[in-house]
C-alpha cells in the first residue's frame, strides 16, 4: 500500500531506506573489557583502549561476534565467513581515536529480508542490505557551559550493529512498522534491548521523492530520529519539504539533516559535508574476522522462536485472530505469559483475558507485565473456573479485580467470598418463584406481550442471587415459568 502524496503538480511517491544503530547486549565493549552498563558516573567505564591511549591494541569480543551472527540469522540474512574491520576517519571530541573502527567493504552480515505488518493487516517484505559491527562514540554534553562542551567516554567503544535496509519503504507507516518489527526481532534474540530512550537503538532515515514509477530522486539523510513517533513526524516533514522544492523548480541537495523534535523540522548539518570523506582503510591493528560454518550452525541451533513464527503458530495451533496474535507476540514476555495462562485452558478465552483485562488493568495501574500482581498460572486458574462454569464471566471480572488487589488465587477468592455459580436448578427455581410473586404487574404485562420485560426478570434474579446464578439456567427456567 504505497502511500502517495498529493502535490500541486500531481502525485509523489516516497522512497525510504533506514539505517538503524543497535547497541549489542554484552558485558563488555567491542574491543575492551570496560563495562557497557547505562547511566554510570562519567568516564568511569573507560579503559585506556577506549580512551585511545597510544600503543593500545583492540581485541574483539567473541560474544559480540556471536550476537551479530545471531542477529543476521534472525534477519534471514547471509552470514559472511570473512569480514574486515576498517577505520572510518573523522575528527570529533567524543571520538578519541580520530577514527571509528567499523566494517565497510566486507561486513559480517550480507543481504536478507524481514516481513513487516501493516495497520491494514497486510504483510510486506523489506530487504536488508547488510549488518556490520562498529564502535560507538562517546557522548558530548553541550548545555552545561556557554563556551565549552563536556565529554563522557563511557559509551565510547560499546559495540553497535548498524543494520541497513534496502530503499523498500514507501511511507511513514511502513517505516514505523519496519522499526517496530526490527526492534521486536532484536529483543526476541536478546541481542539488543531496543531501548530508544536510552539510545540503545537509534535510526537514520534516508528519504527521497519521485513521480510514481519514475527515476529515483536525490535523497537526504535524516539523523536524530529516535522514537517511533519521530520517524513518522520526520518523514512527514521531510517529504513535504522536498516536494515543495521540486515543485518550485528547485533541486534537493544530497546532504545530512538533523531532526529537531522541538521545532518539528529537519535542518541542514553543514558541518557534515566535508566529513563524508572518511578515507576508509583496513585497520592494521586487526586481522580479518573469520566465522566458520560450524560456529554459524551452532548459533542457529540456539535461535528462539521468532515473532513471525510465533504469530503463525498462535493463529494455527490456538485459533487466535491475526490481531490477537500480533498483540500477544509484540513482547516475548507477553507471549510467554499468554502461553502459560492458556496451558490446559481454552486459548481464545485466555487470550481475551490477557489482552482485554490484564493488559488493560496493568496499563491503568501503570505496571509492567513483569510486576503483574497476577501471575500467568493464576490467570489460567481464573480462566479454568470460567470454562468449567464454576463462576460466570461477570463474577469473574469481580474476582479479577480482587486478584489485582490481593494477588490471591481465583479459587481462594471464590471460596472465601462464596461466589460459586449456582447451577442447582432447584435453588434457581426458588429464586425465580420469589421474583414472580413479588412482581405480579410485570408478569401480567410480559404475558400480555411486553417481551422486553424479560431482561428485567433476569436482572432481578441475578440481583437476588448476588450474580451467582448460572445465566443460561436462569434464562431457561424463566422462559418456562413465565411461559
> Which residues contact other proteins by CB under 8 A?
26-28, 32-36, 41-51, 59-65, 84, 89, 91-93, 140-142, 145-153, 258, 269, 271-272, 274, 277, 279, 282, 286-290
Residues in CB range of 282: below 8 A, 6 or more apart? 84, 85, 86, 87
Closest CA to 352 of 391, 389, 400: 400
- Provide, rounded to whole angstroms, the least separation between the CB of residue 96 and other proteins: 9
Quote the CA–CA distance of 129 and 114 in Å, as a whole number.
Answer: 11
Burial 345-356 (b: 16+ CB within 10 A, else e): bbbebbbbbbbe
Closer CB to other proteins, 36 or 97, in the complex:
36
Closer CB to other proteins, 92 or 456, in the complex:
92
- Provide, rounded to whole angstroms, the least separation between the CB of residue 203 and other proteins: 17
Closer CB to other proteins, 50 or 117, in the complex:
50
Closer CB to other proteins, 149 or 254, in the complex:
149
Quote the CA–CA distance of 18 and 474 in Å, as a whole number.
Answer: 60
Closer CB to other proteins, 92 or 104, in the complex:
92
In contact, 141 and 150? CB cutoff 8 Å:
yes
Closest CA to 412 of 393, 427, 390, 392: 390
Closer CB to other proteins, 133 or 428, in the complex:
133
Closer CB to other proteins, 112 or 157, in the complex:
157
In contact, 103 and 83? CB cutoff 8 Å:
yes
Coil, helix or strand for 96?
A: coil
- Provide, rounded to whole angstroms, the least separation between the CB of residue 262 and other proteins: 15
C-alpha distance from residue 317 to each of 311, 342, 344, 396 (Å): 10, 12, 13, 26
Quote the CA–CA distance of 16 and 5 in Å, as a whole number.
Answer: 14
- Provide, rounded to whole angstroms, the least separation between the CB of residue 73 and other proteins: 19
- Provide, rounded to whole angstroms, the least separation between the CB of residue 151 and other proteins: 4
- Provide, rounded to whole angstroms, the least separation between the CB of residue 234 and other proteins: 16
Closer CB to other proteins, 65 or 203, in the complex:
65
Query: What is the C-alpha R_g of the chain?
Result: 30
- Provide, rounded to whole angstroms, the least separation between the CB of residue 53 and other proteins: 8
- Provide, rounded to whole angstroms, the least separation between the CB of residue 296 and other proteins: 15
Closest CA to 456 of 480, 472, 432: 432
- Provide, rounded to whole angstroms, the least separation between the CB of residue 22 and other proteins: 17
Closer CB to other proteins, 24 or 252, in the complex:
24
Closer CB to other proteins, 259 or 338, in the complex:
259
Residues in CB range of 264: below 8 A, 6 or more apart? 233, 237
- Provide, rounded to whole angstroms, the least separation between the CB of residue 268 and other proteins: 11
- Provide, rounded to whole angstroms, the least separation between the CB of residue 282 and other proteins: 7
316: its cell numbers: 494455527
Closer CB to other proteins, 120 or 277, in the complex:
277
Residues in CB range of 276: below 8 A, 6 or more apart? none
Bridge-based pairing state of the strands 85-89 and 99-103: antiparallel
Bridge-based pairing state of the strands 112-117 and 123-135: antiparallel
C-alpha distance from residue 253 to each of 204, 219, 267, 398 (Å): 17, 8, 12, 62
Amino acid at each position: 500500500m504505497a502511500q502517495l502524496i498529493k502535490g500541486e503538480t500531481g502525485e509523489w511517491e516516497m522512497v525510504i531506506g533506514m539505517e538503524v544503530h543497535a547497541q549489542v547486549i554484552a558485558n563488555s565493549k567491542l574491543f575492551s573489557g570496560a563495562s557497557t552498563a547505562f547511566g554510570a558516573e562519567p568516564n568511569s567505564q573507560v579503559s585506556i583502549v577506549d580512551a585511545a591511549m597510544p600503543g593500545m591494541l583492540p581485541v574483539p569480543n567473541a560474544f559480540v561476534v556471536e550476537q551479530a551472527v545471531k542477529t543476521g540469522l534472525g534477519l534471514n540474512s547471509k552470514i559472511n565467513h570473512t569480514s574486515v574491520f576498517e577505520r572510518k576517519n573523522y575528527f570529533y571530541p567524543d571520538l578519541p581515536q580520530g577514527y571509528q573502527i567499523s566494517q565497510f567493504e566486507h561486513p559480517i552480515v550480507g543481504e536478507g529480508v524481514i516481513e513487516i505488518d501493516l495497520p491494514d493487516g497486510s504483510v510486506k517484505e523489506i530487504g536488508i542490505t547488510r549488518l556490520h559491527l562498529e564502535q560507538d562514540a562517546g557522548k558530548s554534553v553541550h548545555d552545561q557551559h556557554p563556551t565549552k562542551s563536556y565529554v563522557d567516554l563511557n559509551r565510547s567503544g560499546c559495540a553497535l550493529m548498524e543494520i541497513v535496509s534496502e530503499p523498500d519503504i514507501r511511507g511513514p507507516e511502513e517505516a514505523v512498522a519496519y522499526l517496530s518489527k526490527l526492534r521486536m526481532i532484536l529483543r526476541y534474540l536478546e541481542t539488543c534491548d531496543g531501548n530508544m530512550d536510552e539510545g540503545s537503538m537509534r535510526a537514520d532515515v534516508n528519504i527521497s521523492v519521485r513521480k510514481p514509477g519514475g527515476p529515483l530522486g536525490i535523497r537526504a539523510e535524516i539523523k536524530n530520529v529516535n522514537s517511533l513517533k519521530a520517524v513518522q513526524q520526520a518523514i512527514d516533514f521531510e517529504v513535504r519539504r522536498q516536494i515543495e522544492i521540486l515543485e518550485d523548480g528547485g533541486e534537493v541537495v544530497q546532504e545530512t539533516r538533523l531532526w529537531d523534535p522541538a521545532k518539528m523540522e529537519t535542518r541542514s548539518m553543514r558541518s557534515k559535508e566535508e566529513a563524508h570523506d572518511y578515507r576508509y582503510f583496513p585497520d592494521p591493528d586487526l586481522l580479518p574476522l573469520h566465522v566458520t560454518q560450524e560456529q554459524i550452525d551452532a548459533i542457529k541451533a540456539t535461535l528462539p522462536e521468532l515473532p513471525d513464527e510465533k504469530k503463525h503458530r498462535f493463529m494455527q495451533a490456538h485459533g487466535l485472530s491475526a490481531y490477537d496474535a500480533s498483540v500477544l507476540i509484540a513482547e516475548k514476555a507477553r507471549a510467554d505469559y499468554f502461553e502459560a495462562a492458556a496451558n490446559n485452558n481454552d486459548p481464545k478465552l485466555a487470550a481475551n483475558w490477557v489482552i482485554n483485562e490484564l493488559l488493560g488493568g496493568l496499563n491503568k495501574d501503570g505496571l509492567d507485565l513483569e510486576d503483574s500482581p497476577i501471575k500467568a498460572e493464576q490467570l489460567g486458574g481464573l480462566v479454568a473456573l470460567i470454562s468449567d462454569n464454576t463462576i460466570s464471566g461477570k463474577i469473574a471480572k469481580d474476582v479479577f479485580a480482587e486478584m489485582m488487589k490481593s494477588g490471591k488465587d481465583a479459587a481462594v477468592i471464590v471460596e472465601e467470598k462464596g461466589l460459586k455459580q449456582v447451577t442447582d436448578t432447584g435453588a434457581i427455581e426458588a429464586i425465580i418463584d420469589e421474583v414472580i410473586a413479588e412482581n405480579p404487574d410485570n408478569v401480567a404485562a410480559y404475558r400480555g406481550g411486553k417481551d422486553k420485560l424479560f431482561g428485567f426478570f433476569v436482572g432481578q434474579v441475578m440481583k437476588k442471587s448476588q450474580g451467582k446464578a448460572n445465566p443460561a439456567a436462569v434464562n431457561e427456567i424463566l422462559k418456562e415459568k413465565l411461559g
